[in-house]
Chains A and B, each alone.
Chain A
Amino acid sequence: MEEEADIVGKAFVEHYYQLFDNERPSLSTLYQPDSMLTFEGQQILGVHDISSRLQQLPFERCRHVVSTVDTQPSAVPGSILIFVSGSLELPEEEHHLRFSQMFHLVPTAQGNLCIQNDIFRLNYG
């Protein structure tokens, strides 16, 4: 079960940042009405507001480079916790930003995984 969570976790992380970096509006497919995002301390609830917030971030383009991915099974069967650290490159900026992010994925009625909880923090040097 743990190995499966690792595989699913890594695949999800790749997919998430690929969408974020290339088609940010499509991130809305990964959140639901009761999803929660805390972005640099700001709490946002629900797929609509989360999607708006992410699209309004003050940069057009970015690239996430993942350094570490840790995964564990969560309380509800089929749910997974993922803890990511990495760099966020912005084209106009000389220095990369470092970040940590946590996802709690839960199974949907359709048999997919969606983001129930998402917490993002920049790591200042």
Chain B
Amino acid sequence: MDPDAVAKAFVDHYYSTFDANRAGLANLYQDNSMLTFEGQKIQGSPNIVAKLTSLPFQQCQHSVSTVDCQPSGPTGGMLVFVSGNLQLAGEQHALKFSQMFHLMPTPQGSFYVLNDIFRLNYA
């Protein structure tokens, strides 16, 4: 599978899981995973999932505008850079965001998120 296709498939899976069942993100992170969410640093899958499931909205929908990816080096990792919109239920205007994932291969042939950085884009 070509890297761009892998990146797009990952991004689709990530946001559809986020939007449908945030707790389901747990198996995309491991103990050494790091998330920086609007400047707040969180480490490890349980803490990351706790943060994401406690965000102050029940329902949301991510729509992706751009996905860029590059191989990150000899470890077989992949860097994925996303921009898009985040629509919260009850809000008139969607929020714009950018997010960066560093995916690392697992022995089972899939990927997990080693590094994750999320920022809202204010006008």
Contact = CB atoms under 8 A, between A and B. Distances in A.
Interface of A: 2, 36, 38, 41, 43, 68, 70, 72-76, 79, 81, 83, 85, 98, 100, 102, 104, 106, 116-117, 119, 121, 123, 125
Given A68-B39, A75-B102, A102-B100, A123 B115 contact: no
Contacts, number: 84
Given A81-B102, A104-B102, 4 more contacts: A70-B36, A100-B83, A100-B98, A123-B98
Contacts of A76: 73-75
B116 to A, nearest CB: 8
A68 to B, nearest CB: 6
Most buried by B among A98, A106, A119, A125: A119
Given A75-B102, A75-B104, A119-B81, A104 B36 contact: no
A92 to B, nearest CB: 21
Interface of B: 34, 36, 39, 41, 66, 68, 70-75, 77, 79, 81, 83, 96, 98, 100, 102, 104, 114-115, 117, 119, 121, 123
Contact of A38 (B68, B104, B114): B68
Contact of B41 (A2, A75, A106): A2
B72 A83 contact: no
Q: Name the prevailing secondary structure of the A interface residues.
A: strand
Nearest to B66: A121
Contacts of B39: 68, 70
A117 B70 contact: yes
A47 to B, nearest CB: 15
Nearest to B116: A72
A103 to B, nearest CB: 10
A36 B117 CA distance: 20
Given A119-B81, A123-B98, A72 B70 contact: no
A107 to B, nearest CB: 11
B83 A83 contact: no
B119 A70 contact: yes
Given A104-B72, A125-B123, A117 B36 contact: no
Contacts of A83: 36, 98, 100, 117, 119
B102 A38 contact: no
A72 B115 contact: yes
